[in-house]
Chain A
Amino acid sequence: MIQLTNIWKRFGEKQVHQGVNLEVRDHETLVILGRSGGGKSVLLKMIIGLLKPDSGSIVVDGKEVTTLTYKQLQRLRFKFGFLFQGAALFDSMTVGQNIELALRRHSDFKDADIEERVQYALELVKLKNVEQLMPSNISGGMKKRVGLARAIALTPKYMLYDEPTTGLDVETADGINLLINELKTTLGVTSIVVTHDIHSAFVIGDRFAIFENGQFIMTGTKDDIRNSPNPEVRKYIESEIET
């Protein structure tokens, strides 16, 4: 379980988080909805210790992330897979090297096992014969899939998705949504998805948290969101109807 309590974070003059509280239950997919540039991605980065909150508590499986030593933090990160907004593939490495990098560094697998794991990860994201390609030679949708394959290579317990469908056409975005759902069923991961795409959110999410002005203004199921009278929440529902 992941628990965020009273998180405050400021970047320069901008107060990004103002007492954020959030609970992510095991095996659920929680979707964080909010405007671009509002600080949703920063929350994901704080959960795995890439950024530190100015104050507040982040607890992952009973461990307080904000007080962990560097080594403890690195061990905690084994539990997480992170799909970055632009996939963040290492552009000096091939697709295969991107996926096997963490396996070679953090596991005792032999070459044959690593190859097998890479194939398995690629199969899960529905890609074939791309190991030798460079990231610059594949499409945006494929990059997201490779990023996903890299994230799941170490079979994480938690998956963090930062805008997984942004910049993709509808068909490719639907494919990514389908994959997120499949990974949840196949690997049983707990997922947090940050997005401003309400359509995708309703396809993949079990619960939803609406982030506005540095706080969560509402957390609930699809029905809770749809029936909310809160005008800030209604904006999202109306945007879904428009699309």
Chain B
Amino acid sequence: MMSKKFVVSSSPHLRSPDSIRSIMIDVLIALFPVVLMSVLLFGYRALITIILSALAAMATEALALRRGNFFGDGSAAVTGLLLALTLPVAPPWWLVIIGAVSAIVVGKLVYGGTGCNIFNPALVGRAILVISWGSHMAGDVWLCPEPYAFTADLVTSATPLATGQAPLLDLFLGTVPGALGETSALAILIGAFWLFYKGHICWRIPGSFIGVVFLLGLTQGGITAGLWHVLAGGVMLGAFFMATDMVTSPYTPAGKVIYGAGCGLITMVIRLFGNYPEGVTFAILLMNALTPLIDNYTVPKKFGEVKRNHA
């Protein structure tokens, strides 16, 4: 029976079949319903924006790393896609390209590339665009969707967050003005379900993020207001796809809850007291900055460890 030799090898002994590439492809699959919904709602120009942003991000990374493989590990494609989903339907083409290039360069490559970045690259790109070209990124630039009509004749208006008007069902389905990927909670939930199923995200960050937004929303007028704050704006997209970025969020269980709750708190503070109508971008970026600190303070107790007596 013991004819086989023992295999002696150094740690790590537990290996996962996951690679960066396979996880990124799963994220791309998860984003598919969101992309599909935005094209259905906003028409072909949404698709142009999304493709332009993803191609610009991939081209930037391939060029900067002098890499022949255009797709690479897929993280640039995810970054470009996520950036596009936070943009208005038809921004000027240069805005999309500058956003994608700065997301990859300033958001990721200057820190040393995939896995080394402090901030979520897509949100860095978005923040740069919001600060630099506010008139293209806020106010009456959001198209009112005309579901399933592939037309260019859409009316622009402010998002429900600015106007305060929108029925909850419309917010859930996504038939309200807003950024490409943020309006449809339904599509986001379908995509997020795939990520849960594959085990790439857990409930802690989105749960605490959305929970805190809901609780603080309650103070603005009961359950309807709570649900409204969760469904309107970018909370759903941010909570499931941005805040859960593996590189820039804490990896301890308790840390994830603190991080998500912090995101929710800052989002609501910016929404209720700030100058910007929406605060998800800056909330997640600020909590990204705190991630190393949170990880440091929430190291889990090792099994069998005894609390040290400070005598």
Does A associate with B in a complex? no
Point out residues on A near B: beta carbons under 8 Å.
none
Point out residues on B near A: beta carbons under 8 Å.
none
